[in-house]
Amino acid sequence: MTQELYIGLMSGTSADAIDTALVSFEGAQSPQLIATHSTPIPSDLRADIRALCQPGTGELDRFGHLDGVLGETFADACLALLVNTGIEASAVTAIGSHGQTLRHRPPSPDARAFSLQAGDPNIIAQRTGITTVADFRRKDIAAGGQGAPLVPAFHRAVFGCAHENRALINIGGIANISWLPSEGPTLGFDTGPGNALMDDWIGQHRRERYDRDGLWAAQGKPNSMLLEYLLAHPYFVQPPPKSTGREIFNLQWLDTQLEQMDPMPAPEDVQASLLLLTAHAIASAVTGLADQGPARAYVCGGGAHNSQLMNTLEALLGEQVPVASTEALGIAPDWVEAMAFAWLARQTLKGLAGNLPEVTGAHSAQVLGGIYPA
């Protein structure tokens, strides 16, 4: 059978790096991860991204500039991957680019839904000479959906099992869950904060980009009152379909909760509370779905490397739901999302649906994204 090569590009909510994955598809076989490359996002570019995630002056001009700069940066990441592998651009069918989300507004009674990503796919296609597929979320939104999460369709295709109920948990800046029962429909939604709040808090107090292994959180003690304030946000009890982002869960929101505290918790106690918030929201989602029978949880994303977070999640889920990383299923946790967007690009080019209406709330399955020829 003919081998097809695709590149998946992923830059998540944390905006810390661009993950690039070269993926092989061959017939009905599961996609194979051929090569990977990670490009750190420079601190000045990261600051520009963060600034545009919140309302401010001159947004249109700043967006136009950032859209082009990120397009160039994404193209450079793809070209670096090809150089490292010695593979010619002509051998790659397409690039699937998630883009950098700047604003995600799911459907609500008060405002029109939209999702905006930066990273001009025209530039990616021109610079690499490879057809690029991008803007995956807006077709689902046009069909009445949330536009997120999109990875459950990929999770089902690659990790679904007829003999085991599985919860696939992606802990990026925002955490999401895909429920893959041995029988019945796939479900999924964003559970709430993942790493983003912890990254922002340690960045503010210790000038570090993330809490390696959760060591700083481990030095603190979760504050039960703060956790109660955080969990009082209505998102946590909102029924799916649902999705969220930095628009809701950010340092400004955290500061509002901290203003109610007297005395103010120590910074490391806040970090411990944020870690427990992430773990609690995920565990609550898993246990709410696992009433269908015994299940196993598999974690991907950067959170899979946070041993304190993984230990806390294991403790909350107990023996009923064993926890492992997706490494146990044959794919390293860092590359699952990038692979997903290679898969989504292939779905688009073949005229196949990339969303799951039961997950996003769309009224029907949709072929996602726009195609930008080289």
**Has residue 236 been placed in a domain?**
yes
- Structure-token match 């912890």, residue found: 198
Question: How crowded is the C-beta side of 189, counted as CA atoms within 13 Å?
Answer: 25
Q: Does residue 168 sit in the same domain as residue 316?
A: yes
C-alpha 176/C-alpha 187 separation (Å) is 11
Q: Does residue 14 sit in the same domain as residue 64?
A: yes
Q: Does residue 95 sit in the same domain as residue 175?
A: no
Nearest by Cα to 142 from 373, 355, 372: 355
Q: Does residue 174 sit in the same domain as residue 276?
A: yes
Q: What is the pLDDT of residue 327?
A: 97
Domain total of the chain: 2
**Has residue 327 been placed in a domain?**
no
Q: Does residue 143 sit in the same domain as residue 159?
A: no
Q: Does residue 270 sit in the same domain as residue 317?
A: yes
Tens of pLDDT, residue by residue over 233-271, are: 999 999 999 999 999 999 999 999 999 999 999 999 999
Q: Is 69 left (phi over 0), alpha (psi -120 to 50) or beta?
A: alpha
SS3 assignment, position 190: strand
Please name the residues in contact with 325: beta carbons below 8 A apart, sequence gap of 6 or more: 298, 299, 300, 304, 310, 332, 333
Rg (CA), the chain: 20
Bridge partners, residue 39, by sequence: 18
Q: What is the pLDDT of residue 290?
A: 80
Q: Does residue 225 sit in the same domain as residue 164?
A: yes
Contact (Cβ atoms closer than 8 angstroms) between residue 333 and residue 326: yes
Owning domain of residue 128: 4-147+334-372
Q: Does residue 87 sit in the same domain as residue 156?
A: no
Q: What is the pLDDT of residue 294?
A: 79
The CATH number of the domain holding residue 25 is 3.30.420.40
> Confidence class of residue 1 from pLDDT cuts 50, 70 and 90?
low
- Answer positive or negative: Cα dihedral of 122, 128, 131, 135: negative
Q: Does residue 166 sit in the same domain as residue 242?
A: yes
> Confidence class of residue 14 from pLDDT cuts 50, 70 and 90?
confident
Q: Does residue 252 sit in the same domain as residue 128?
A: no
**Has residue 45 been placed in a domain?**
yes
**Has residue 326 been placed in a domain?**
no
**Has residue 329 been placed in a domain?**
no
Contact (Cβ atoms closer than 8 angstroms) between residue 133 and residue 97: yes
Q: Is the pLDDT of residue 2 over 90?
A: no
Q: Does residue 84 sit in the same domain as residue 136?
A: yes
**Has residue 116 been placed in a domain?**
yes
Q: What is the pLDDT of residue 142?
A: 98
**Has residue 95 been placed in a domain?**
yes
Tens of pLDDT, residue by residue over 98-117, are: 999 999 999 988 889 999 99
* Mean of pLDDT values over 10-34: 92
**Has residue 84 been placed in a domain?**
yes
Tokens standing for residue 301: 């994303």
Residue 144 to residues 48, 179, 247, Cα–Cα distance (Å): 31, 21, 20
Nearest by Cα to 81 from 49, 36, 122: 36
| % of the chain with per-residue pLDDT over 90 | 92
Whether the ω angle into residue 40 lies within 30 degrees of 0, i.e. cis, is no
Q: Which H/E stretch holds residue 191?
A: strand 187-193
Q: Does residue 37 sit in the same domain as residue 59?
A: yes
C-alpha 240/C-alpha 166 separation (Å) is 18
pTM of the model: 0.96
